[in-house]
A and B are shown apart, each in its own frame.
Chain A
Amino acid sequence: MRYLPLTEDDRRAMLQAVGAATIDDLFVDVPPEARLAGPIPGLPLHQGELQVERALGRLAARNMAAGAHPFFLGAGAYRHHVPASVDHLIQRGEFLTSYTPYQPEIAQGTLQYLFEFQTQVARLFGMEVANASMYDGSTAMTEAIFMAQRVTRRAKTIVSCGVHPHYVRAAQTLCRFTGDALLTGVPTLCSAPPTDDFDDLVAHLGSDTSAVVVQYPDIFGHVADLAPLAEACHARGALLIVVVTEPVALGLIRAPGEMGADIVVGEGQSLGVGLQFGGPHLGLFAAREKFVRQMPGRLCGQTVDADGRRGFVLTLSTREQHIRREKATSNICTNSGLMSLAFSIHLTLLGEAGLRRLAALNHARACQTADRLAAIPGVRLLTDRFFNEFAVELSVPARQAVRDMAEMGVLGGVSAARLWPEEPALERVLLVAATETVEPTDIDALARALIETLGTEYAGA
């Protein structure tokens, strides 16, 4: 067995050294009735690398990989081109096979990139501090809701209906058990075209509101000016939590911090990580500095060593479970370290100029796509101010349209019904994302597939 170095001679010598006649002597504490006599029956025995590669290769081949098809899915996971050097670097064994940096003298590599990552995230979001990452965007949002409740000592949170429904459901799951009140997206709001109108949210603000949660750009791709909402929140002593599921957008649109956000969380898979069928992804978490002691997760900080040289350590760990146990700010331990490295490398490769250009390219592709689709009879554009994703209303149920297009080899978007199956009003809504990976011929293919699906004559664009 290729991963096990002990030989039979080694095992004999070591058993003798520990005073055991057989290996079973080392399992004496296991009650006899719980000891298995041999390998679990019915399961396969060990296999060589070639056999495993064949078996898993067959499974991989049964999936439609995004890169092999015209691809327009977003809704919380975006396909961007990741430079080759990113994946090469994160596979350096010293990064890949290291642990949480509990021994900082031999983990400065991890700690320095975490410090750089924290700074990049804070600047991108327009915030003062960021942590060393969470599991993903959805769990980061739930943690932000709890953090706001600790900060304000209030227990009611208002979540906009423009927030990704999976994120909302994840928060609802926990809030149901913790007894916190979560006032969430009212579906009737969603049936209208997205607007900047936050009156419904503001109307619910009260002296018991800990925070308002909005997504930016929202699930329909709409980009709103959040400054008036931030003002309304602050006037009532509530915090504004902003969720960003597409960080590339921030190369082109204002940072949430600039508009008054108090906590900004997000999903970082767009940069460096890839689609990954939903995981591992990368939770981003940033806040105002005055709230830092209420933040969840690991924080990396700068210090000096005994010789006076600059170095980095994990810090403020008295917030965390391994010190505070049941009084910790969160139970989180493992984060998304390697994904934060991929994100940070990709962002370093881009630099500010590169990120701005990438964002502009995304926006141009999305505008091209939207114009093309809007010209098709039976398609109505719902989002007028968007970054790289928008919603359209079709003359037919969107879910079937997505399946029909897939049959034609086009991955044409995400139906709103996949996200809100219980909302008939959203049945004909399709979410379409177009990044820099979309070519003009892909837009042609999408338009053709959609026309065929709608059964209409192509009107030309």
Chain B
Amino acid sequence: MSMAKEGRPTAPRQPEAAPAEGDRTLTGNRGLMLEEPLIFESGAPDRTGVDLEAVPAHGFRLTGVERTAPIGLPGLSEGETVRHYTRLSRQNYGIDLGLFPLGSCTMKHNPRLNEKLARLPGFADIHPLQPQDTVQGALELIHVLAEWLIELTGMHGVAMAPKAGAHGELCGMLAIRAAHEARGDARRVVLVPESAHGTNPATAAFCGYAVENIPADARGRVDLAALEARLGPDVAAVMITNPNTCGLFEPDMRRISDAVHAAGAYVYCDGANFNAIVGRVRPGDLGVDAMHINLHKTFSTPHGGGGPGSGPVVLSEALSPFGPLPFVVRHADGRFHLVEEETAASEGHDRAFGRMAAFHGQMGMFVRALAYIMSHGADGLRQVAEDAVLNANYVLRSLEDVMTAPFAHAGPCMHEALFDDGFLEGTGVTTLDIAKALIDEGFHPMTMYFPLVVHGAMLVEPTETESKARLDQFIAVMRDLAVRAKAGEAQSFRSAPRFAPRARLDETRAARQPVLTWRPPADDRLAAE
């Protein structure tokens, strides 16, 4: 199969008709849908929401470097601040509001116990460079979470340092590169399936590898013959996503791993889709050498509008000696020790590839993830995977007759259901139109135009935290949209969303005439003259 080259449209088409005059309000507000100016338009530099004590007169040691020019930072009172951000929040969709079936992103419920525990002063108010004797509980927490992740994946070790999924990929690929270099084996190529997340090829290139694509076969899996044919002494690693981005398990994973190992290379697995198999399948049993785990996906830590993430990387026995610093070990006397550069050699880790960032990883995410894991336990996590897979298959089988599901014939899907835009052919309606129409129906759209191996992809990942009733409602909406599209109602799709805080936004204009910071209106006038 070939990659879809056609991206999604970026500029809105003109609506068929302007909004009716009767819909207009003086403020632009519409009942509870409230407009909010920028802080630069509403604030003032001498207004503040913080009362600070008087500054004691006590020396001044900054002569020659003191700031004289104004900074240009507006302030708001506390009440205005609360209102500003509350009003902004109401222009956002979140999991707390409804189904958020963003494929590959695992938008599951974020338990509030986790938020409460992460805010305990013993976790949130400790400094990363405090003496280790004063943070034994924090080090133990990291150690306990590490042990859980090793058990759940059947791997040998884990690097807790990476800050997010892509940072974890970088960690795994650096360990692979370090392992090759330790053998004096300078391999230059990394193979990446076409269906991979964009971070995979970007990561491989970031650590200096040449990237080559491996095509997908007609069943939406890695083309095994093409992969085996390309393996050779110049290939350092293969980066595979399993379950893959078509929502399918790679049934030949063991064979792929064996072939990769026989060629002297390593298997990197993108663990973004671990939620489908947690507690039921251990990647270590499939021959994986390195896999990142997105704590902000499978283990429910909040996405927070784009971060923070956390991407611990589990490692095979072959790669563990090369993992990064720092990490936590338990000594025989029961004390926990943070292994940094100083003690790496004495702790038997002198081949570590180095440090990836300041300090020791995303502690706040570790607390949340461990609370989630302990809440579910080994039995509950298994149920998580089963319900996630059941929910996705339920969506797939309930929609395959009215939409087109390119790989539905190949058997069950895992945790996400992939559709393409075949059912929209000749209707004048696009994947983007479907997504925007879903917004009007009160759902967050699915992932659009990814993976690239199918045309106009729609990737639906309901997750296990959605009820059957909610799925039934989503299915009813999708069926209705498919019927309306086929009935020739393309025009009504084009003006969607009609009930969101904004109509379609002009992304082309944003990219062609970038406005990345606020400037006072006078500046705009000057620029225009």
Contact = CB atoms under 8 A, between A and B. Distances in A.
A334 B106 CA distance: 14
Interface string A50-85: 011101111111111111100101011101000101
Interface stretch (A101-109, A152-160, A231-239, A446-454): A101-109
A182 to B, nearest CB: 12
B58 interface: yes
Nearest to B464: A4
Contact of B303 (A30, A100, A330): A100
A321 B390 contact: no
B46 A59 contact: no
B354 to A, nearest CB: 4
Nearest to B504: A306
Interface string A25-36: 111111101111
A105 B436 contact: yes
A44 to B, nearest CB: 5
Contacts of B280: 27, 30, 35-36
Nearest to B46: A353
B439 interface: yes
Given A96-B302, A313-B507, A276 B124 contact: yes
Given A108-B91, A278-B359, A302-B515, A335 B48 contact: no
Interface in A245-295: 250-255, 258, 267, 274-281, 289, 292
Contacts of B230: none
Given A253-B67, A280-B362, A177 B174 contact: yes
Contact of B75 (A44, A116, A349): A349
Contacts of A384: 61
B306 A132 contact: yes
Interface in B355-407: 355-365, 367, 370-371, 374-384, 386-387, 389-391, 393-394, 396-398
Interface in A391-441: 402-403, 406, 411, 414, 418-419, 421-422, 436
A403 B346 CA distance: 21
B428 interface: no
B126 A65 contact: yes
B65 A254 contact: yes
Contacts of B302: 96-97, 338
B505 interface: yes
A333 B166 contact: yes
Contacts of A459: none
Interface string B504-522: 1111011100111110000
A234 B390 CA distance: 61
Given A3-B111, A330-B206, A350-B48, A95 B74 contact: no
A350 B75 contact: yes
A376 interface: no
A360 B84 CA distance: 28
Interface in A30-46: 30-31, 33-36, 38-46
Interface in A293-333: 298-307, 309, 311-313, 315-318, 320-328, 330-333
Contacts of A306: 12-15, 495, 503-506
Contacts of A189: none
A348 B72 CA distance: 11
Contacts of A343: none
Given A20-B412, A59-B122, A421-B341, A106 B131 contact: no
A349 B82 CA distance: 9
A214 interface: no
Contact of B305 (A88, A107, A280, A323): A107
B198 interface: yes
A421 B359 contact: no
B140 to A, nearest CB: 6
Given A93-B94, A253-B62, A330 B44 contact: no
Interface string A160-192: 000010110110111011110000000000000
Contacts of A347: 73
A133 interface: yes
Given A94-B90, A94-B93, A352-B74, A62 B43 contact: no
B39 interface: yes
A149 interface: no
Contacts of A83: 49-50, 78
Nearest to B352: A173
B48 A341 contact: no
A289 B513 CA distance: 12
Nearest to B116: A53
Given A46-B380, A63-B134, A326-B205, A123 B509 contact: no
B72 to A, nearest CB: 4
Contacts of A209: none
Contacts of B133: 403, 406
Contacts of A460: none
A286 B201 CA distance: 26
Q: Is the interface of B mostly helix, strand, loop or mixed?
A: loop
A255 B67 contact: yes
B6 interface: no
**Size range of the chain B interface in the assembly:** 35 or more
Contacts of B340: 421
Contacts of B379: 39, 45-46
Interface stretch (B248-256, B261-269, B484-492): B248-256
Nearest to B255: A31
A306 B19 CA distance: 11
B130 interface: yes
B424 interface: no
B412 A176 contact: no
Contacts of A299: 514, 516
A209 to B, nearest CB: 21
Contacts of B125: 65-67, 79, 274-275
A94 B94 contact: yes
Interface string B401-418: 000000000011010000
B96 A94 contact: yes
Interface string B149-183: 00110000000000111110110001001000000
A364 B55 contact: yes
Nearest to B142: A277
Nearest to B389: A26
Nearest to B495: A306
Interface in A89-147: 89-110, 112-113, 115-116, 118-120, 122-124, 128-130, 132-133, 135-139
Contact of B389 (A27, A118, A224, A358): A27
Nearest to B396: A18
A173 B307 contact: no
Contact of B131 (A120, A137, A281, A403): A403
B47 interface: yes
B516 A52 contact: no
Given A105-B505, A138-B357, A250-B71, A44 B377 contact: yes
A76 B41 CA distance: 33
B518 A98 contact: no
A303 B509 contact: yes
A104 B115 CA distance: 27
B9 interface: no
Contacts of B124: 274-277
Contact of A277 (B138, B380, B381): B138
Contact of B358 (A170, A298, A334): A170
B46 A252 contact: no
B375 A59 contact: no
Given A105-B497, A385-B62, A338 B88 contact: no
B308 interface: yes
B384 A30 contact: no
A62 B137 contact: yes
20 contacts: A36-B282, A42-B151, A45-B378, A53-B117, A56-B117, A56-B374, A60-B121, A76-B358, A98-B303, A105-B501, A123-B517, A135-B167, A305-B502, A315-B516, A325-B201, A325-B211, A339-B307, A352-B46, A363-B60, A436-B53
Of all A-B residue pairs in the complex, the 7 with the closest CB atoms, nearest first, are A351-B75, A278-B359, A338-B304, A60-B122, A93-B96, A62-B137, A278-B128
